[in-house]
Structure 1
């Protein structure tokens, strides 16, 4: 449907250069109405952490938390307004702010704190998001981000501005160090109601742990005038 609308728009634009007839000038508008009118609108997803029987897991406000004597990991799901605000905080013209706040993306702010005497190593390549339909998604990295803005006039500048905002390569934290970055997943399917983030092989010194966090969709607001 989008391709049809785009072709109508392109035809109308070309004809409008040659003919000044009013009907031709309506074609671009009609094509836009065709696309907008037929495309379903999906609301903003609101995720709530699921509770766990394990004493190492807890829910703090809107965040899911894993904590023991060595490490604390908290994951806060962000809605579209929050991810947009965060991306615009470093670059008011960041084109990714609109792209990554679309319904097919899920964004999480993840904090990791090292309370051990050794080093902690977290590798986002060993993290995955599962939905209730058995879908699997890996976190987006800088290569994925670059592909979204590759046609922009300054893609390198956009990506460099976002340096240290996303978990991309492995992160090493020394004792008493912490980090706070974004995990963003793409390809989210409409109708998914539950999500699980699984993290394998988080190194604490020479030992490893695996953690998982569950979330449920509790609201999907389709109101366009939501404040």
Structure 2
């Protein structure tokens, strides 16, 4: 009886069916091959024995088309925006172990003369450029990004230097480095945007003093001697 009412009402079109299926894939983060699952096909067949389930390749193409559509919509909306404010908080984990360990490690190499010298020596022995670890600045969010990026880049020489130093400070674990690398990957776009906006601001500041001179020159020529 239910199936008879379902066919009689015909309350969704084929296009709406496909859009709903794409939504299911996206909202529930389902793999494309869910349409090939026996249970899924049996469920669809129960609702409508005549319904043809799209192939995995077809679903993939529809999801990609939806992505392009949503991306273009977002770009169009962003083009209408006069200004953008970016706020980021990288360290919302409960214990912040990776961040705190990294900060302690960098602080040790920044304050210990012996540790600094050992790090330089190890880098030379490895045939690498001699770089210093960077300390974050509270008023600049991306200084934390640069501190962690530098620590990841110097992971090998830092570990080797610590091994030869008489200190209780230890290098980060592989899991902590993995956590930091993941955060850096997520934050890299924001760092690039911060740098670009900063450069634009500097350029505008450099050009600003010339404006009054140009204005005076134009007005002077217009009004005559």
Please indicate the TM-score interval, normalised by the length of the shorter structure. Answer: under 0.3
**Higher Cα Rg: structure 1 or 2?**
2
Give the TM-score normalised by the residue count of structure 2: 0.23
Which structure: greater strand fraction? 1
Give the TM-score normalised by the residue count of structure 1: 0.22
